[in-house]
Chain A
Amino acid sequence: MRYVDEFRDGEMARGLARAIAAEADPGRSYRLMEFCGGHTHAIFRYGVQDLMPPNLRFVHGPGCPVCVLPMTRIDQAIAMAAEHGVTLCTYGDLMRVPASERNSLLKAKADGADIRMIYSTQDALAIARQDPGRQVVLFAIGFETTTPPTAVALKTARAEGLKNFSVFCNHVLTPPALRTILASAGPDGVQLDGILGPSHVSTVIGSRPYEFVPVEFGKPVVIAGFEPLDVMQSALMLVRQINDGRCAVENQYTRAVTRDGNTKAKALMAETLVPRQGFEWRGLGELPNSALRIADAYADFDAELRFPVAPGAGKEIKGCECPSVLRGVMEPIDCKLFGTVCTPENPMGACMVSSEGACAAYWSYGRFRQPKAAAGAGKSAAA
């Protein structure tokens, strides 16, 4: 696969690993937050941490839109399907995420709700066209990468007069989340020396929106590509900035990211979606101007207006440390529920269900590093 395989080459990885080891100052530590869940997944899946010197650690961030979606929003989506009888279209990632009362989209589907897994917003539009008698709701989630497809769906629905189509909008924004993490960084919060910026969010929004990070928080940012070699090269670029005492936004993913991003996509988003005043993020609390709702001009396609449902309690399971894991202050193995009560079979929180969640990634790929955690996990696997 072109532009994929070259960036996974083991030989090059060893070369980069040597370079990082040579340049990393043994007298200090490098704590690099990989903000994006896709990076978490890549790091674990390829074992990138193994190739880093011991004083360089990746810290997991909240860039996992499934993980930060509050339980109440899933409750509301289920209610739309169960109480209003809509056809709810969702991406596969959400099917098993625990909602309140141990419910989930998958369980609701088994109970008879019309919940369908889609791959693209185009699929949801097609379902709406096929059956004009049914109300079809797109359960829209994701950061700025997944938002433009929703914008296209809204515009298309308007152009075609698809009266039975609407969107339940849960899109969230990266810069405010980054700001919250950095604001809470410090001796009592998460310890950070640099940020690996998200790959595909950045292809849309460009590198410009990260410029506040060095200016306001004095931390370097390197926008990193999606493949493991990209992650390694970006780590090297951060090491160099940190060593040199420099602090800037650098772009490693130049083959797909420019300063201004995708102007066409940004325009479509601006036309159909506007910032919400506030939005609750699982783990990070209420963040102002951090999420999007449907613009007034497209209000007739807003599922929240068309199908009002009660917000629901959305109580986190006691002992679940997803909020701390999302903030980077806790490792999955530090959570008492990890590997004992909370396993992929029986996830307590979103970090274990979403394959990008740190807990799931750790369970799937990294448990063998920690005999203590492994012992607990091994028992439950055998159970």
Chain B
Amino acid sequence: MDQSRSRKPRFAGRLDLKHGAVDMSHGSGGRAMAQLIEELFRRQLDNTLLAQGNDQALFQPPAGRLAISTDGHVISPLFFPGGDIGCLAVHGTINDVAMCGARPLYLAAGFILEEGLPLADLERIVASMARAANAAGVPVITGDTKVVERGKGDGCFITTTGVGVVADGITISGDRAAPGDAILVSGSIGDHGVAIMSKRENLGFETEIASDTAALHELVATMIAAVPDIHCLRDPTRGGLATTLNELALQSGVGMQIREEAIPIRPEVAAACELLGLDPLYVANEGKLVAMCPGDRAGALLSAMQAHPLGRDAAIVGQVIADPHHFVQMETSFGGGRIVAWLAGEQLPRIC
């Protein structure tokens, strides 16, 4: 049990988590900040290393190569169907670490809070992070808090850094895709982006779609156990599946051919995209991955993915080919061909 709980409270009054709000003193390094850390962050995130109360956490690295990844999370709204910025941050960094085949070990979290953020919201966010970290077995062992003036932050920004360890013999990298490789996705595309958009006021549509935010490291472990020679793994977050495929094509110096029919997409996601004039291939995902493996191992990899709850709807969507232009080509469900271009910027809803 966390020792800090059994000590007498060190601060005069408790934090008002119901009606209080973040103010500049919470970032000043003084007692107010210490109280915020103690009564909110440490209470929720609650683990031995964090409880030591130092500016750093010490741990013995297991054998193997270390992988480290960092991510800034600036999502708005902070709370959305299926999740919030807290669990999104935890899942996102766990996934980035896992995409090289690493087993995630620990997380560090830096918070930039806007003056005026209700403490109730902050508690909700941190509690969600704690739940996500505990479920994944990847604790947040060190952190930082800063406060910026009202108007200078979007409520809450979170930067998470994750560290993991890669077993010997595993080489999963974006430059390893080779002609003949199969391309697989772990499930339906576009869920997260559509869930977020449904919360944007002026787009005004209602849907049951929730974000697919999830930690994928255990799915990855299952996949590697079945097919150790996976060449590439990446999670298609901002910019969607299309962007990730283009990135990998360029990094590996190859082209790709995919089939629209094979790509899993929920009917509501397709419908929401139609309404807004968006292409689901470019819509963000937060609980999916793309994998490339030697063609003859595709069946085995697919079975392994489908056996896992986060890969139930996994599918083989295409193959890697030689192509000096690094195009991602798609056979449309209609039977014609098109390329899946690398977009310049964010997709915007269109009327024409």
- Which positions in A face B, CB cutoff 8 Å? 1, 4, 8, 10, 13-14, 37-38, 44-51, 64-66, 91-93, 95-96, 117-119, 123, 142, 146, 228, 343-345, 354-356, 363-368, 374-375, 377-378, 381-382
Q: How far is the CB of B31 from chain A (nearest CB, A)?
A: 39
> Does B336 have its Cβ within 8 Å of any Cβ on chain A?
yes
Decide: B334 and A10 in contact? CB cutoff 8 A. Answer: yes
C-alpha gap A355/B350 in the complex (Å)? 8
Which residue from A51, A93, A378 sits with its C-beta under 8 Å from B324?
Answer: A378
- The interface residues of chain A lying within 8 Å CB-to-CB of B334 are 8, 10, 13, 46-48, 51, 228
Which residue from B204, B325, B344, B351 sits with its C-beta under 8 Å from A374?
Answer: B325
Decide: A93 and B336 in contact? CB cutoff 8 A. Answer: no
Decide: B351 and A146 in contact? CB cutoff 8 A. Answer: yes
Q: How far is the CB of B190 from chain A (nearest CB, A)?
A: 15
User: Can you show 25 pairs from A to B with CB atoms below 8 A apart?
Assistant: A1-B271, A10-B334, A13-B334, A37-B352, A46-B336, A47-B332, A47-B338, A51-B334, A64-B352, A91-B352, A93-B352, A96-B348, A117-B202, A117-B349, A119-B349, A146-B351, A228-B336, A355-B277, A356-B352, A363-B341, A364-B341, A365-B341, A378-B325, A378-B326, A382-B250
Proximity bits, B311-338, A CB within 8 Å = 1, else 0: 0000000000000111101011111111
Decide: B326 and A381 in contact? CB cutoff 8 A. Answer: yes
Decide: B348 and A93 in contact? CB cutoff 8 A. Answer: yes
- The interface residues of chain B lying within 8 Å CB-to-CB of A375 are 325
Decide: B337 and A65 in contact? CB cutoff 8 A. Answer: no
Decide: B348 and A119 in contact? CB cutoff 8 A. Answer: no
B: number of interface residues (CB 8 Å): 34
Which residue from A1, A47, A123 sits with its C-beta under 8 Å from B337?
Answer: A47
Decide: B348 and A117 in contact? CB cutoff 8 A. Answer: yes
- Which positions in B face A, CB cutoff 8 Å? 202-204, 250, 267, 270-271, 274, 276-277, 324-327, 329, 331-339, 341-345, 348-352
Q: How far is the CB of B177 from chain A (nearest CB, A)?
A: 16
Q: How far is the CB of A106 from chain B (nearest CB, A)?
A: 8
- Give 20 new A-B contacts, CB below 8 A, not counting A47-B337, A119-B203, A365-B341: A1-B267, A1-B270, A47-B331, A50-B336, A51-B334, A51-B335, A92-B351, A93-B348, A93-B351, A95-B348, A117-B349, A119-B202, A142-B352, A146-B352, A344-B344, A345-B344, A354-B352, A367-B339, A367-B341, A381-B250
4 smallest beta-carbon distances between A and B, as pairs: A47-B336, A92-B348, A344-B344, A378-B325
Q: How far is the CB of A240 from chain B (nearest CB, A)?
A: 22
- The interface residues of chain B lying within 8 Å CB-to-CB of A37 are 352
- The interface residues of chain A lying within 8 Å CB-to-CB of B337 are 47, 50, 368
Q: How far is the CB of B230 from chain A (nearest CB, A)?
A: 26
C-alpha gap A65/B350 in the complex (Å)? 12
Which residue from A119, A344, A378 sits with its C-beta under 8 Å from B204?
Answer: A119
Which residue from A48, A65, A96 sits with its C-beta under 8 Å from B352?
Answer: A65
- The interface residues of chain B lying within 8 Å CB-to-CB of A367 are 325, 327, 339, 341
Which residue from B270, B276, B345 sits with its C-beta under 8 Å from A96?
Answer: B345
- The interface residues of chain B lying within 8 Å CB-to-CB of A118 are 202
- The interface residues of chain B lying within 8 Å CB-to-CB of A47 are 331-332, 334-338
- Chain A residue nearest to B350 (CB atoms) is A93
C-alpha gap A77/B27 in the complex (Å)? 43
- Chain A residue nearest to B202 (CB atoms) is A123
- The interface residues of chain B lying within 8 Å CB-to-CB of A381 are 250, 326, 342
- The interface residues of chain B lying within 8 Å CB-to-CB of A382 are 250, 326
- The interface residues of chain A lying within 8 Å CB-to-CB of B345 are 96, 345
Whether A14 touches B333, Cβ cut-off 8 Å, given contacts A123-B202, A354-B352, is no
- Chain A residue nearest to B345 (CB atoms) is A96
C-alpha gap A247/B183 in the complex (Å)? 50
Decide: A46 and B326 in contact? CB cutoff 8 A. Answer: no
- The interface residues of chain B lying within 8 Å CB-to-CB of A343 are 344
Decide: B350 and A366 in contact? CB cutoff 8 A. Answer: no
Q: How far is the CB of A286 from chain B (nearest CB, A)?
A: 23
Decide: A91 and B341 in contact? CB cutoff 8 A. Answer: no
- Chain A residue nearest to B342 (CB atoms) is A381
Decide: B351 and A366 in contact? CB cutoff 8 A. Answer: no
- The interface residues of chain A lying within 8 Å CB-to-CB of B336 are 46-51, 228
Decide: A4 and B274 in contact? CB cutoff 8 A. Answer: yes
- The interface residues of chain A lying within 8 Å CB-to-CB of B250 are 381-382
C-alpha gap A1/B333 in the complex (Å)? 15
- The interface residues of chain B lying within 8 Å CB-to-CB of A363 are 341
- Chain B residue nearest to A44 (CB atoms) is B338
- Chain B residue nearest to A200 (CB atoms) is B352
Q: How far is the CB of A140 from chain B (nearest CB, A)?
A: 11
C-alpha gap A320/B185 in the complex (Å)? 40
- The interface residues of chain B lying within 8 Å CB-to-CB of A44 are 338
Q: How far is the CB of B126 from chain A (nearest CB, A)?
A: 33
- The interface residues of chain B lying within 8 Å CB-to-CB of A119 are 202-204, 276, 349, 351
C-alpha gap A72/B202 in the complex (Å)? 28
- Chain B residue nearest to A47 (CB atoms) is B336
